[in-house]
Amino acid sequence: MSGNYLTATDRNFKAEILESDKVALVDFWAAWCGPCKMLGPVIEELSGDYEGKAVIAKLNVDENPATAAQYGIRSIPSLLLFKNGQVVEQMLGALPKNQIAKKIDEHIA
């Protein structure tokens, strides 16, 4: 089941992610990053799985350098999980879907 993830940007990050009343997963990625491309379909599936329960977003670090810098993103893909505007989990690399889902589930309950 695939859904529509949110495209996070420097401009909408505060409103869509930090001020969300839901847990938000943000995939920091770039078009030239091989592992990021592998993670793409996983993020898409998660956005379908968590529709209405969590915000699933992707942020292109090349197009949105301010937000990437703000969170100290040095290697991609980096997945940050936000709850109440705070980073509660940080995951690096192209992780399997079940591992990412487990982290999301821990913070939804």
Look at the block and give the residue holding tokens 């937000």.
Answer: 67
Sheet holding 23-29, edge to edge: 6-8, 54-60, 23-29, 78-83, 86-92
What Rg value do the Cα atoms of the chain yield, rounded?
12
Among candidate residues 17, 24, 36, 42, the one labeled active-site is 36
Compute the distance between CA of residue 34 and CA of residue 13 in angstroms, rounded to an integer.
24
Residue 68 is a catalytic residue: no
Per annotation, catalytic residue among 33, 88, 92, 95: 33
Q: Examine the residue annotation and report whether 51 is marked as an active-site residue of this protein.
A: no
Q: Active-site positions?
A: 33, 36
